[in-house]
Chains A and B, each alone.
Chain A
């Protein structure tokens, strides 16, 4: 074969997109289409409002609201009584709204750290194990099964009691997810088992593409619905776990936390038995429920994000693909 002759693989397409067109297409594909899908679903709409509300609280809110300190107002002012302290105050006169706001920041950090940690661990271990098979699979799955059976919260409690961890929210987020990845790793493995013999994966393998590349380019994109769902579920688990353990007084802390607030309300003011302190206990509870509700709704609707039919309906790419109009 002479060098001047070009093979089919080297011929260029006749229609070419300009740089700006390509960027616009990329933005449409990655940002606008998902946004349109999300806005089409009522659950997602509520979820986006709730989650961005908490993000707002954690970023802008801390600049607007005064930092919590004692004697900001009267003692045990009830909720919705004064405009100055809309959510009331604690037994030492701390404004509850400012406590809730300032506790949002470490909570978001914990959630992010824990969810990212567990998803990465699960994806690496689950896909490698399912794809490689053989001895690697046996070893990794034995490890996964052991961690899957060890009860998570008691393990975290023991580790928190023994390990000298400071109140770093990222460290606590990871600690709370220490064995949470095992369940997802198992689920991902069984998905990979169905994909590893697909034609296009086999083609990549025959072409001699490296295993990490096959995993990241051919296999993981198919698992994204699972991974997103679990990212959100783990975020919720971190909220439940951290607030619960702060409530028990087991995790070390140096900043306000919703669980610490609940603990103070019960231990200092007897909020379970006295009506005057009940709002102090109720507000952090509502914050926990609201944030995890937002995440649950988001997970439910995220399913649609990865459905190619739904995506196609919402995509408005700049020419190129011939998009079938799916009747809605």
Chain B
């Protein structure tokens, strides 16, 4: 089986497993979401028949509770794969509509901060390695360690306190100024950047230190390698050595870390979105838990997972292009 095929199957399987997991949580837990919804409906509308309650539950969770379990499962799978995530119990709207409008914003702040943290981290790290042992190196290491020990929400809360409330430099919530028409107009783009700045800043600040330390370590290892001496003896230009020999070999090992960071960043974005009242997927996930809005909660989780799976899938497939050594699939003897 070719690598691409295998990797694709694995991505599909992950999505499949996640949806199955949410089905299990909704349906199989005693006292779980389905039981909760039923109890709530019995309490509110006194004269609803069991039939009506079951219909209502089905509309909200995509689970036909009066069918046998395997039929429920197949139906649930089918409806979610066709893009029907059910209906919010709190807002009354389809979950897809609520979350569909939110996910671009989450991806926006997440990808920008990931990109910035990676670029700043790599530049800083290689510079630190180049000046190894200098005062710049030592003080940068201390700063990087300190930032690395700080959760993004702490930076977020400090930024909110000083830059938004007291400094008045940035808004304290929302995607863009009210009254603006979403589109490609400069005012809208500027306003979106202004509103996204603090969430992006909070996630970037805590992340670049870790990248810098990784890059520093890798670069120092590469700088001592024999092939660099050979390259110098061959009379290659310093620029070529720095980019083609040092940078490339130091960055490649960090690629896996970058993929994992995609996953953890979305998790971090949940808390950041809540702090800045930034209505992304994480924001809706948290408010759904407060309101016990199970369909939105499960939908947000599925959507976040799919986004992460796609991100890692793309990153994984491009890795082979960057590093020709990354060939897999050689058979190994089993004991």
A interface, CB within 8 angstroms of B: 131-137, 142, 145-146, 148-155, 157-164, 183, 193, 196, 205, 211, 236, 239-240, 243-245, 247-250, 262, 266, 271-273, 275, 278, 281, 285, 288-289, 292-293, 295-297, 300
Contacts and interface: CB of A to CB of B under 8 A. Distances in A.
Given A244-B153, A271-B161, A288-B154, A153 B334 contact: no
B304 A272 contact: no
25 contacts: A133-B335, A142-B10, A142-B13, A148-B260, A149-B263, A149-B312, A150-B263, A153-B270, A154-B282, A154-B285, A154-B300, A157-B270, A157-B301, A158-B298, A159-B25, A161-B288, A163-B29, A240-B151, A247-B153, A248-B286, A271-B161, A292-B151, A293-B145, A295-B149, A296-B148
A157 B146 CA distance: 27
Contacts of A272: 157, 160-161, 164-165
Interface string B146-186: 10111101100110110011100000000000000000000
A239 B282 CA distance: 20
B332 interface: yes
A146 B13 contact: yes
A276 to B, nearest CB: 13
A152 B151 contact: no
B151 A211 contact: no
Contacts of A295: 149
Nearest to B32: A162
A296 B305 CA distance: 29
A240 B152 CA distance: 9
B236 to A, nearest CB: 32
Nearest to B293: A161
Given A150-B308, A288-B154, A161 B289 contact: yes
A162 B33 contact: yes
A135 B264 CA distance: 29
A285 B300 contact: no
Interface in B113-169: 145-146, 148-151, 153-154, 157-158, 160-161, 164-166
Considering the complex of A and B, which 9 residue pairs feature the smallest CB-CB distances, nearest first? A134-B334, A153-B267, A133-B334, A293-B149, A292-B149, A161-B289, A273-B165, A240-B151, A272-B161
A134 B73 CA distance: 32
Given A247-B271, A262-B157, A278-B161, 12 more contacts: A142-B10, A151-B264, A158-B301, A162-B26, A248-B274, A250-B289, A272-B161, A288-B151, A289-B154, A296-B148, A297-B145, A300-B145
Interface string B216-251: 000000000000000000000000000000000000
B51 interface: no
Given A157-B286, A266-B157, A132 B268 contact: no
Nearest to A182: B260
How would you classify the secondary structure of chain B's contact residues: helix, strand, loop or mixed?
helix
Interface string B264-302: 101110110010000000100110111010100110110
Contacts of B312: 149
Main secondary structure of the interface of A (DSSP, over half): helix
Contacts of B285: 154, 157-158
Interface string B321-335: 000000000001111
Given A142-B10, A154-B305, A285 B267 contact: no
Contact of A150 (B18, B145, B161, B286): B18
Contact of B150 (A163, A248, A273, A289): A289
B271 A248 contact: yes
A183 B149 contact: no
Contact of A151 (B151, B292, B304): B304
A211 B145 contact: no
Contacts of B264: 151-153
Contact of B263 (A151, A247, A285, A293): A151
A107 to B, nearest CB: 14
A211 B244 CA distance: 44
Interface string B4-39: 000000110110011000100110010111000000
B63 interface: no
B215 interface: no
A160 B285 CA distance: 12
A162 B301 CA distance: 13
B263 to A, nearest CB: 5
A196 B333 CA distance: 11
Nearest to A291: B149
B334 A135 contact: yes
Nearest to A286: B154
B309 interface: yes
A278 B160 CA distance: 12
A183 B261 CA distance: 11
Contacts of A275: 166
Most interface-central of A131, A193, A250, A262 (chain B CB within 10 A): A250
B149 to A, nearest CB: 4
Interface string B298-320: 10110011001100100000000
Contact of A133 (B164, B268, B333): B333
